[in-house]
Amino acid sequence: MTQVERHQHIVEILKKERFKSVSELSKILKVSVVTIRKDLVMLEQKGLIFKSHGGASLESPYVSDRSVRLKKLERISEKDAIAKAAVDFIHENDSIIIGSGTTVEALANYLPQVKLTVLTAAMNISLSLLDHPQLELVQLGGLVRSSSASVVGPHTEAMLDYFNCKTLFIGADGISIDHGCTTSNMMEAHLNAKMMEHVQKTVLLTDSRKFDKKGFGKICNLNQIDVIITDHNIPEHYKNMADKLAIELILV
């Protein structure tokens, strides 16, 4: 097989599968790992693929800021299943923080009808919880981001210094082995990182489409996440990663 033929084969493989690792491509094409890495560099330079941690994909790993109104219409069944699984981490008299995003907003719809204290920066989540009879709701204040319906900034972060909670539920725009947990907005990423400092446990709620994606603002490394709840379409190498990092991985 010539180099050109090998490159064509790599692109065809990636058209059929979302991601292939360097080792998998090496076995399929019967060439060394070094050769595959050189092939991937050349293909990326031509704009035909995108390299990521230990492999390649045809999809761009980079995400941009999108309106929460649009994202709310996507992956509805997956988000509901993830939210229902997350409820198992909430108990009566708990104090919890709910971040921003459409997957954690789904969680608000399934909160148990027990006494809870909820802190959130997301105004859409606060509005959805107004009729919860036994809930003490703390709305953080700050600069309003219309695209996420959430508040951010130094005033928001300063309010967190007055609270300590049991569990934080956050979403993400991207999860990758090399860049960790990210979101498209730098200020929102910093706020999520600050929230993590004020809880005992951090639970990441995300659908499988977010894996191998990267946002502009980094929230944390993956080893700082305690639990990941996602759907069954998660790439296989993230299952291995979760086991290696002792992250509780729940697939719905």
Express each pLDDT in 61-99 by its tens digit: 778 676 676 676 677 899 999 999 999 999 999 999 999
Provide the mean pLDDT of the chain: 92
What whole-number distance in Å separates Cα of residue 171 and Cα of residue 233? 17
What is 3-57's CATH number? Answer: 1.10.10.10
Assess contact for 222 and 174: CB atoms under 8 A.
no
Assess contact for 94 and 116: CB atoms under 8 A.
yes
pLDDT above 90: percentage of residues in the chain: 74
The domain locations on the chain are 3-57, 68-251
User: Hunting for tokens 């951010």 — which residue is that?
Assistant: 152
pTM above 0.85, yes or no: no
What whole-number distance in Å separates Cα of residue 241 and Cα of residue 221? 12
CATH 1.10.287.80 describes domain 68-251: no
132: nearest Cα among 163, 108, 157: 108
Structure tokens at 190: 């910093």
User: pLDDT class for 149, splitting at 50, 70, 90?
Assistant: confident
